[in-house]
Amino acid sequence: MGSAQLIGLDWGTSSLRAYLFDDLGHLSAQREASAGIQSITDGRFREAFESLCADWLEAWPSAPVIASGMIGSRQGWKEAAYLPTPAGFAEIASRLLPVDELAGRRFRIVPGVSTVSAGGMHDVIRGEETQVFGALARLGSADLTVVLPGTHSKWVRVQQRRIVAFRTYLTGELFSVLAKHSILGRLFASQPPPAQGADAAFADGLARAAADPAGITSLLFSVRAEGLFGRYEPHSLPSYLSGLLIGAEVAHALADRTIGLRQDPLVLAGSEELIDRYRVALSLQGVSALPVAGAPAADGLLAIARAARLASPSPRELP
Amino acid sequence: MGSAQLIGLDWGTSSLRAYLFDDLGHLSAQREASAGIQSITDGRFREAFESLCADWLEAWPSAPVIASGMIGSRQGWKEAAYLPTPAGFAEIASRLLPVDELAGRRFRIVPGVSTVSAGGMHDVIRGEETQVFGALARLGSADLTVVLPGTHSKWVRVQQRRIVAFRTYLTGELFSVLAKHSILGRLFASQPPPAQGADAAFADGLARAAADPAGITSLLFSVRAEGLFGRYEPHSLPSYLSGLLIGAEVAHALADRTIGLRQDPLVLAGSEELIDRYRVALSLQGVSALPVAGAPAADGLLAIARAARLASPSPRELP
């Protein structure tokens, strides 16, 4: 094994991903366990971490650890209070939460970020802020919007390299609960869709939601009605539902004055499949977006650790 | 017992309600069982019906039966194909579906109604059409919109006493699946809400959704964020969610050119609690609506039976 200066943990609800960074900041190893916080009983977080990273801990007894995600929530190891917007590298680095020393090893949790809209409405992110900082570490732009599709899709507005506003959409979770627990899912086929019909159904859903985003709670019922009338095959109904939900999200977010400014770059971070879906939805609105290069969560953990002097600066920042 | 000329069944997914009408068309008895179609196994619909109404059947061996609701769906006793809009008394009376003769007794199922929007989107109702005809039997207006809040809220547009268009909102089912199966419900308290805070939270939800109905899939996440920040007590969070969903529905429906014409009367049919909620939501938009008098489902079954000459005409229609 070579040198190592930092262990990064992307520790969410359903998984724990660990990254090992060498002295130059290169990712030298990574591994994953299903030890998300929802699977941890009796507060045995330390044991889950030490079990996944035992050999790293033995080989580099003084390498610090930085963790982000739901591990810092009320249900996690230790609650890291939300940092309010605007939040840049300096603010977040100054608010890392120390966890009890682990045999002399520093262990820090990245706080989530909170914001309040002009209408006085709260919103929160926890974990995604790290991906945004990871994107910023890669990109030249100081002003951009980062879209992070997922269970809770986040549209995060960055100005002067600080998170200034964001908005969450329940898109992924709506898809999941409607497919599993509502009348809409009853017509779904259990096999995966044949690609062609599914793509057309997805595009149809996008177009209908884009034309009438305020009607989304009504459009959702059309998943059942169109299924009854055979407009879409049972195999394609999930794609139609996905199109409706993503279409409503994208149409609304692009029109939102806080997050949807179109003159700045729009970048996407997430799974390849979701990025593809969002690019199709955005292109329908005449907007292009590129995936963030690199591994945003790992890049963000390193970048925040560097800003907090838990890790040595990037070689290009050296004098 | 007096005379009887008709048995009406309002037979839905979760319950079976039976009505007995005398020779003048007055409701002389009613009863209810939890024998909704989802609880019937091995197609034992006849047994469920005969069990609930045994004494009526014995006392009036020739009284015909008219049934509406999910009993006419693919999962019901016999599928009654949807009647397309425009659908008035004459159309629906001519399309009653006969079920196998029950010892010489006529048994008819009321079909659901289907419509296609200008955008080519299908929508369906099954059971609510009967309530609409019940409202029409009571009301003088030939042109109105009937709102039927519930698991699937229906806004039904009537012109010249015919159903010409309608739109379904998934409002009630969204509330239910989000409360039970999503992250939003995790902060809910299990006890019933103290009324005052809940009313304010409901009003807040209505106002926020009315101001931004296209953002509803994002506003939904605020149930969690506002809960985390303590803006609403856990007791009041369900009311806030209800306000968001009803607010988005009402704002969209009133703006919909097909169903939301404001110059004609708007009437509400449903449970007292839901009617109260919708009246608050409508009044926020400057619209008033009155509950339909009578029992719309029972009234509708009788009115359709009369139109089909299964029952004798109303005394006021006699020469």
What domains sit in chain A, N to C, each tagged with a CATH number? Answer: 6-139+295-317 (3.30.420.300), 171-291 (3.30.420.310)
Instruction: Out of B114, B123, B245, name the one closest to residue A221 (CB).
Output: B123
pLDDT grade for B260, boundaries at 50, 70 and 90: low
What is the least distance, in Å, from the CA of A178 to any CA of chain B? 7
Omega before residue A194 within 30° of 0, cis: no
B217: nearest CB among A181, A182, A245? A245
Query: Would you state the structure tokens that stand for residue A130, as one six-digit string?
Result: 């790290």
Query: What local confidence, expressed as pLDDT, does residue A273 receive?
Result: 94
- B197 to chain A, closest Cα gap in Å: 17
Please give the residue of chain A at the shortest CA–CA distance from B251: A214
Q: Does B168 touch chain A (CB under 8 A)?
A: yes
Q: Residue ranges of chain A with pLDDT lower than 50?
A: none
In chain A, which ranges are E strands? 6-11, 16-21, 27-33, 65-68, 83-84, 87-88, 97-98, 107-109, 113-116, 122-125, 144-148, 153-159, 162-169, 266-268, 290-291
Min distance B78 CA to chain A CA atoms (Å): 16
What would the 3-class secondary structure string for B178-199 be?
Answer: HHHHCHHHHHCCCCCCCHHHHH
Residue A2: its pLDDT value, please? 66
pTM, whole model, 2 decimals? 0.94
pLDDT attached to residue A118: 85
C-beta neighbour count of A245 within 10 angstroms: 27
Mean local confidence (pLDDT), B97-110: 86
Q: What is the pLDDT of residues B125-179, one digit of tens each?
A: 999 999 999 999 988 888 999 999 999 999 999 999 999 999 999 999 999 999 9
Give the C-alpha separation, A165 to A132, whole Å: 12
Q: How far apart are CA A157 and CA A147, in angstroms?
A: 9
- Average pLDDT of the segment spanning B16-43: 95
Q: How far from the centroid of its chain's Cα atoms is residue A88's Cα? A: 17
The pLDDT tens digits of the residues spanning B173-228 come to 999 999 999 999 988 977 766 667 889 999 999 999 999 999 999 999 999 999 99
Q: What value of ipTM does the predicted structure carry?
A: 0.93
- Partner B, chain A 251-280, Cβ-Cβ below 8 Å: 251-253, 255-256
User: Is residue B33 scored above 70 in pLDDT?
Assistant: yes
In the predicted model, is pLDDT for residue B3 greater than 90? Answer: no
Q: What is the DSSP letter of A167?
A: E
A267: CB partners within 8 A, 6+ apart:
A135, A139, A144, A145, A146, A147, A289, A290, A291, A292
Mean pLDDT for B57-64 is: 93
- Interchain contact, B174 vs A245, CB within 8 Å: no
A152 in reach of chain B (CB within 8 A): yes
CA-wise closest residue to A9 among A61, A58, A63, A59: A63
**Which residues of A fall within a CB distance of 8 Å from B121?**
208, 219, 222, 225-226
Render pLDDT for B77-103 as a digit per residue (tens, 0 to 9).
999 999 999 999 999 999 999 997 666
* Whether the bond into A86 is cis, omega within 30 of 0: yes
A222 in contact with B at a CB cutoff of 8 Å? yes
Q: Nearest-5° angle of CA B241, CA B246, CA B248?
A: 100
Burial of B163 (0-12, 13-18, 19+ CB in 10 A): buried
Where residue B67 falls among pLDDT bands split at 50, 70, 90?
Answer: very high
